[in-house]
Amino acid sequence: MVRVELGRVVMRRMEEDDVEVVKALIKEGCEGTENRLILHILTRPLCLFMLAVLSSLLRCLVHSFILALAIPVFLLTVYLKITTPRSTGVLGSHRPYWDYVGSSHRGTRKDTLPNPHARSSSQTASKDKDRERSAEKVSPEREQAAGQVWVAECEGEILGCIFKESDQRAGTRRICRLVTGSWYRREGLGRLLVQGLEHRERETGARRIYAHVPYPSKVGEVFFRKLGYQLLGERTGEGEGEEEEEEEEEERELELESPERGFLGHAVTKVFFKDLSDRKVK
């Protein structure tokens, strides 16, 4: 692990020449996540039953118990390897891809998130560079639909990133990906990115923010719970009236923020939320 001085970190919008670095960072962060998702799906009771039936049928054709058992598992694993990334996209996203060029910052001035650890001079430490824009045209509508990617940069090196989907409903925001470099984990970068984004979205009038986390990710679940997020569907009201109000609200939100579904309808993400309004924030 490399010690990070949080006060020197600048959180800014991703620009076009950052795209390849961000893609490499996501690929590194996704290592193991896809395999855990596949293992999670393969071990569901319905899937195990289906594999057992296929193995029994193959046993009549293949004179080997091991082959009859291994072939269905192998074929299903290959199928999931091919389809899982397409169904979940950037894991937790409802779209099958991410428009990196469309989501890159196109303004002339840097757009940054507040860093409570930074001195006034540190927040603008990142130097402007001559950047070559791609020939691909990005309309305002495409940029609006593409969402935003924010990167944590220190001394010219991108250490982490956070993805926010486009604002589909008034007052709500959605985080669909949070990644920090393997050498910079457990240094507070993830917390810094999430809290910086929360602060910005609260100022723009957001009342609630959602985080879509890969289902088997215990680390991701613990991380967001520590930041005050709750699993959608959990009751947290203290009084009966408050419980009923929360239950009705959660039913409405479950229809709009349902977890991503994979093979045989198994959930591959968990949805966490946090209220940003003053009456809820503690």
Of 96, 95, 92, 56, nearest to 72 (Cα)?
A: 56
Q: What pLDDT sits at residue 125? A: 46
**Range from 78-82, 115-119, 277-281 that averages highest in pLDDT:** 78-82
Residue 197 has pLDDT above 90, yes or no: yes
pTM to 2 decimal places: 0.80
Q: What angle separates helix 33-42 from helix 19-30, to the nearest 10 degrees?
A: 40
Percent of all residues in the chain with a pLDDT value above 70, rounded to a whole number: 80
Amino acid at 22: V
Residue 64 pLDDT: 86
pLDDT on residue 278: 59
Average the pLDDT over each of 66-80, 100-114, 153-167, 244-258 and give the range with the smallest value. Answer: 244-258
Whether residue 128 has pLDDT greater than 70: no
User: Are the beta carbons of 119 and 7 closer than 8 angstroms?
Assistant: yes
Q: How confident is the model at residue 4 (pLDDT cuts 50, 70, 90)?
A: confident
pLDDT band of residue 72 (cuts 50, 70, 90) is: very high
Beta bridge partners of 261: 267
Label residue 132 by pLDDT band (50, 70, 90).
low
When pLDDT is averaged across residues 20-25 and rounded to a whole number, the result is 91
Which is higher by pLDDT, 244 or 129?
244
Q: For 169-186, how does the pLDDT look when each residue is reduced to its tens digit (9 = 90+)? A: 888 899 988 988 888 888
Tokens of 147: 């969402």
* pLDDT computed for residue 261 by the predictor: 78
Mean of the pLDDT values across residues 124-149? Answer: 69
Name the residue type at position 261: R
Does the structure show a pLDDT above 60 at 109? yes
What is the arithmetic mean of pLDDT over 120-135?
Answer: 52
DSSP states of 169-233: STTEEEEEEEEE-GGGTTSSHHHHHHHHHHHHHHHTT--EEEEEEETT-HHHHHHHHHTT-EETT
Which runs of consecutive H residues, i.e. helices, occur in 3-93? 19-30, 33-42, 45-59, 65-88
Predicted confidence (pLDDT) at residue 14 exceeds the cutoff of 80: yes
Q: What is the pLDDT of residue 169?
A: 82
Q: What is the pLDDT of residue 228?
A: 93
Q: Which two tokens stand for residue 75?
A: 């074929």
HSE of 88, CA atoms in CB hemisphere, 13 A? 31
Domains in the chain and their CATH numbers? Answer: 6-117+138-236+243-275 (3.40.630.30)
Does residue 133 register a pLDDT over 90? no
Residue 252, classed as helix, strand or coil, is helix
Task: State the pLDDT at residue 247.
Answer: 66
Highest averaged pLDDT of the listed ranges 28-32, 51-55, 105-109: 51-55
**What's the token pair of residue 262?**
């994979």
Give CA–CA dist 165/57, Å, rounded: 45
- Band of residue 258 on the pLDDT scale cut at 50, 70, 90: confident
Query: Quick check: 124 pLDDT over 50?
Result: no
Hey, what are 205's tokens? 């009038």
Q: How many CB atoms lie within 10 A of CB 150?
A: 24
110 three-class SS: coil
Average pLDDT over residues 138-149: 85
Rounded average pLDDT over 54-78:
90
Q: For residue 272, which phi and psi values (nearest 5 degrees)?
A: -110, 155
Tokens matching residue 92: 């937790």
